[in-house]
Structure 1
Amino acid sequence: MPSYDALREILDPAATVLLTVECQQGVVGPDAALPELARAARESGALARVARLVAAARKSGVQVIHAVAERRPDGRGAGRNARLFRAAERLPVRQLAGSAAVRVAPPIEVAEEDLVVRRLHGLSPVQGTEVDALLRNLGCRTLIVSGVSANVAIPNAVFDAVNLGYTAVVPTDAIAGVPADYTAAMIRHTLALVATLATTDEVLDCLGRPRAS
């Protein structure tokens, strides 16, 4: 973990954006397509911590972007070149554009000033979406990555952010995947090599304290 001063320097609100990844009702809600992942996100407290991060980000002037994965009812434009995509077609809950499944899930609240980026293809919340262009237009240097899943989308977002030149910060208790020991191993052996790791409370502390003028 970085020192408080080092983390505080990285998390300059004027150059920081908070990204929530696939925190949508069809993924982490009560009637999610993947109940095990939804339980992990809720029972671990990760989803509640994402909500805390979102609320604190707004208060400190940090832009919030919600990355949502969805597909058209006809599947047009969606990939079938991975087992995950083909399996998603057979799930009882589908992430269809315009449906309740692609709404950001409580307790996270979406404010008018938040940006919601919806993607119809691929695995990444960043690469191949509007996110990179939005980050550059916002003057972002640091991207806080939160949400699900530690299996696929979270590491994908972190790798893409680093490859695009951003500093990635991962609040390790505000992400979730399955099984829990895999999430811990991913954090320790992979994300620790490319991202700045912190707890939600450490990030909140840095964002909440007034800065010297």
Structure 2
Amino acid sequence: MPSHEQLGELLDPAGTVLITVECQQGVVGPAAALPQLAREARESGALANIARLVTAARARGVQIVHAVAERRPDGRGANRNARLFRAAERLPVQQLAGTDATRVAPPIEVAGQDLVVRRLHGLSPVQGTDVDALLRNLGCRTLIVTGVSANVAIPNTVFDAVNRGYTVVVPSDAVAGVPADYTAAMIRHTLALVATVATTDEVLDALRPDAPARVRRE
């Protein structure tokens, strides 16, 4: 785990953005397409921790980005080149644009200054979307990655961000996947190699208004 000073330096609000990945009703809500994933996100406390992080980060001037996955009713532009995509087409809950399934799920709150980025294809909210350009325009240097799933979208987000030159912080108890022990192993053996792993409480502590002064990175 990083020291308080190290984490505080990384999380200078002026250069930090927090992204929530697929924290939408149709993925983590009560009537989700994948009930096991939704149950794990809620029962593990990950969803509640994401809500805490969003509220605290916003209060400190950190930009919030919500990355939502959706599809058109006719499926135009959507991938079909992997089992995951073809299986998603048969799920009882579809992430159709404009429906409740693509709205950010409680207890996470969306504020007027938040940015919501929607994608119709792929596995990552960074690749082939507006996210990278938005982060650069915002002066982002550190990206806090939260959400689901630890199986697919979260590692894709982390790798894509690192490949584009961003420093990534992953609050380990603010991401979820299935089974639960896979999430822990993936974070420990994969994401920890390329990102700074901390807990929600450690990130919240580093974002406190009275946290030690940051050393601005060039």
TM-score category (smaller protein): over 0.9
Give me the TM-score of the superposition, normalised by structure 2.
0.96
Q: Give structure 1 regions of 4+ aligned residues with deviation exceeding 3 angstroms.
A: none
Equivalent pairs counted in the alignment come to 213
Structure 2 Cα separation of the partners of residues 84 and 95 of structure 1: 14
| SS state at 2:107 partner | coil
Partner of 1:137: 137
In structure 2, the residue matched to 1:64 is 64
Task: Determine the structure 2 residue equivalent to 1:108.
Answer: 108
**Matched residue SS, 1:64:** strand
SS in structure 2 of the partner of residue 208 of structure 1? coil
Distance 1:207 1:41 in 2: 23
Instruction: Name the TM-score, length of structure 1 as normaliser.
Output: 0.99
State how 1:116-127 maps to structure 2 within 5 Å: 116-127=116-127
Local SS of the residue matching 2:207:
helix
- Letter of the structure 1 residue corresponding to residue 145 of structure 2: V
CA-to-aligned-CA distance 1:187-208 (integer Å, 9 cap, x gap):
1100010000000000001111
RMSD: 0.9
| Cα separation, 1, equivalents of 2:178 and 2:142 | 27
Counterpart Cα distance in 2 of 1:54 and 1:149? 18
State the alpha-carbon separation in 2 of the partners of residues 118 and 70 from structure 1: 7
For residues 212 and 83 of structure 1, what CA distance do their matches in structure 2 show? 48
**2:38 is matched with which residue?**
38
Q: CA deviation at 1:212?
A: 4.1
Q: Deviations over 1:99-156 (max 9, x none)?
A: 0000000000000000000000000011111000000000000000000000000000
Partner of 1:209: 209
Amino acid at match of 1:117: V
**CA–CA separation in structure 2 for the residues paired with 1:13 and 1:192:** 22
